[in-house]
Structure 1
Amino acid sequence: MLSTANTIRSIHTERLQTAYYQTFGQRKPEYIELIERVAIEVLDHLAQSPDPYHNAEHTLYVTWVGQEILRGKHLREDTVSPEDWLHVIVSLLCHDIGYLKGACYQDCLHERRYATGIGNEVITLSSEATETSLSLWHVDRSKQFVEQRFRHSQLVNVDRLKQNIEFTRFPIPTEPTYQDTEHYPGLTRAADLIGQMSDPDYLKKTTALFYEFEETGLNLQLGYRRPEDVCLGHSEYYRTIVYPYIQTGLAHLEAAPAGNQIIARLYTNLFVAKRKFIPKCA
């Protein structure tokens, strides 16, 4: 199992390296070196997580989608700098690390005490609580992780990382600040949403996603009372909640080398979910 995880990690880091060099050549080679180190560190941590959905596999796929969005944007506009690339990719690699117990310095596993990511605030979880119990705070915890991990780095702007991660907050806040879909935080969010919806195994994971929602009460907020409701409401969820925030990301993907493959998977999932619940004729 560990060997398989290491192989997948190696393939992913090689993919990150290849895309960077294809886009920027030998410019800022220290950036891709940092990306590789972060990928290895984060994926090794997430590989130990028992979380059924927000795990290393999800992070791998979302980061790949984000990479292709950046490649498409660069091909369309020629405005993506190595710095932009670095900050989006590192943000995506770290955006769900807050689910992991032990990610923040204040976490104390044997006392079941965990940072919320908001100042010095901590919470105590029951002995039965899973990583999913940290869902309500995972964005703030992920932001705290990058602040603690990169506070002395000369290569990254921690505030940029935190702003990108903030835009992956879900449900998406209604404040005007969060409605921008074209800047890099908005594209980071698009990568997260598209990565979820286009995952080839997404429809197999909806049961795990339901129980994750249920542990925090988000299932009721989204109108899901049974695991099959996640699949049943897939099209409506996409149309009303996801699509308004991913249109720019989709436009960039259309220009990316692997972008149309991602888009095709997204629409395949929508089609399959819809057909699954069409009443059969007598």
Structure 2
Amino acid sequence: MSTSFLGSALRGTFFLIFGLWWSVRYPLRYLRRKGNAESQPSNGIQRVEIFEGAVKAFFALAGILVEQFVPTGPHLQLYSPKTHSWTDLTPWHYTTVYLFFLLSGIVDIVSHSPLKLPLGLDRLSLSVALFIEGFLFCFHDYSDAVLDHHLHSLLALAIFAGAFSALLEVFIRDHIILETFRTSSFLLQGSWLWQIGFVLSPPWGGPGWDPTNRSNFTFLTLCFCWHYAGALIILAANSAASRCCNESCQLKFGDIDVELDCGVCTRKNNKSGALLPESTSDDK
């Protein structure tokens, strides 16, 4: 598989953005629900889900356009009648991956729209997108590129871990442990895609790492574990920061509860969830 540093870095950035966002959002939401057991899913949470779906769909669509219409891309041509052979299938590989993430983003948007699709369909579509990604990496023809194969085999572990977690979330909704595990798999996948770019196509030019040196395989396997350790450290740090933020908000606002998903303030123990009225001239 021909891998460019820029392409690998852009794909890694996509997963890192979602992983970093979730590493803050999920702990904040968990702490809020833990502090207020009577809280119910709000319109703000639905708006955040729709926003995430739109961002996912946008990045996926942009990825499809980039893979197909860069100067060296296939420009939607799959088979060449001149050479009687398939065109470069690597862009089609990534186009297919992006296609399923595009569908996942669309399902996210529709699931939380007034159409009210069955609960869990958004997580199922994400799980399917990840399974397709891992499936394509597992059965791609790496020819004699053994180092390339090793790197993407390790990547497939992170992909399938995220897919399995998302599949469990279809049946066990809003479970902080599953959400944290999925987040860690996204952080791992994102950072490892950057690592793949540095190994196979260094940004400073020159050849990639020596595939005949078996110690490189051992080191990269260790490096993969260190990447996951880094993902766990990020999760722990962001969770601690979220806790501090949540406690500072409680101290600052007193009996005002801050809706962390949309920035709306409500009075605690107000079951109707009415918005706080704006201050009037009498209050001033």
Question: With CA pairs under 8 Å and 6+ residues apart, which has the higher RCO, 1 or 2?
Answer: 2
Give 1 or 2 for the bigger CA radius of gyration: 2
Q: Common fold, TM-score beyond 0.5?
A: no
- What TM-score, normalized by structure 1, do the two folds share? 0.28
